[in-house]
Amino acid sequence: MSKKNITIIGTGAYGTALANVLADNDNNVIMYGIVEQQVDDINIYHQNSVFFDNKKINKKIRATSSMAAALENTDILILGVPTAAIKHVVNDIIKYAKRPMDIINTAKGLDEENLGLLSDKIKKYFEGSNVLATYSALYGPSIAVEVVDRQPTAIMIASESIEKAKELCDVFSNEYFYMYPTTDIAGCEISAALKNSIAIGGGILKAYNAGDNAHATLLTLGLNEMYEFGKHFGAKLETFLNFAGLGDLILTASSKKSRNFRLGERIVELNDAKKALESFNLTVEGVETARIAHEIGVKYQIKMNFFEIIYNILYNNVKPISLLNNVFRDVKLV
């Protein structure tokens, strides 16, 4: 496949990791960022020390703080910004884009405003412009530092057509980064969002020394609740068994590298979710997702025992021991 001109919006950890993969594959990669220090770090020192200390990244990666320059020749555009920033970023993209592009989203979450899918919301942001050629998104177990270290990683790309998904797999895949195609955007997106809340539960059980049996049981019942939720949006069962579903759930709900998992541990340490959140300086996606998932579950009468418990711990200050005492009761299996 010929070289692609690829723009990554955002100079965060995951965007940098993807830039490294794509530059390793001999694509032309430019990153857009608003923090001049990070832009200079990438251009001059070929690193992004805010996230990766002195680890070197591919020297061919360029960075800029000019959106116009970043979009000059773009074929593929990767949204590497947090969910809350997407609307503002899309407005700038529409303003400066010169051609239709394949848009790939990396943000995880649900649509708080409409109690639906984030992908639907993002596509609506592009309505009325000629910028969005196709929409895709990345999902799967891919801790950024391991990708930068070129450790083996396999993820999914979900696109509206399988042909486009396969085409993009060819752009990303190499000897350490493996990408697989799917068209089940809903299933992948729901898996990516809900596993963060389950990971908070994983941290809670770990802090109570509940044991490996309990941890495995939590992952199993969590996966089942993810599918029960996903069915409402037309998600396919097999999606919850691939890298976007089971793979990402195992990683996020089991690793101390996961912010969601570490928050769960902190909640037990302080025996108070509110105090734990106040003392936790990092963004933890599973907190907001738990609330939105709870509201969607209530609205559409989706029975989710775990999500009801974790919602009450996070938002009604119920003590975290309630997870250990109640989550294994009345489990609904697929």
pLDDT digits (tens, 9 = 90+) for 62-89: 999 999 999 999 999 999 998 889 999 9
**Choosing from 4, 121, 164, 195, which is the catalytic residue?**
195
Give me the pLDDT at residue 191, please: 96
Does 13 appear as a known binding residue? yes
What pLDDT score does 84 carry?
Answer: 86
Report whether pLDDT(283) > 80. no
Q: What is the pLDDT of residue 238?
A: 95
- Given this model, what pLDDT does residue 331 score? 86
Q: Which domains does the chain have, with CATH numbers?
A: 5-183 (3.40.50.720), 186-328 (1.10.1040.10)
**Which residues make Cβ contacts (< 8 Å) with residue 274, sequence separation at least 6?**
317
159 labelled ligand-binding? no
Q: What is the mean pLDDT of residues 185-209?
A: 97
Whether 1 shows a pLDDT value over 70: the answer reads no
Q: Do the beta carbons of residue 187 and residue 230 sit within 8 Å?
A: yes
For residue 121, say whether it is annotated as part of any ligand binding site.
no
Query: In the chain, what percentage of residues exceed pLDDT 70?
Result: 100
Regarding pTM above 0.75, the answer is yes
User: Using a CB cutoff of 8 Å and minimum separation of 24, what contacts does 310-317 make?
Assistant: 310/197, 310/198, 310/200, 310/201, 313/204, 313/267, 313/273, 314/200, 314/273, 314/277, 314/287, 314/290, 315/273, 315/290, 315/291, 317/272, 317/273, 317/274
195 has catalytic annotation: yes
142 is in an annotated binding site: yes
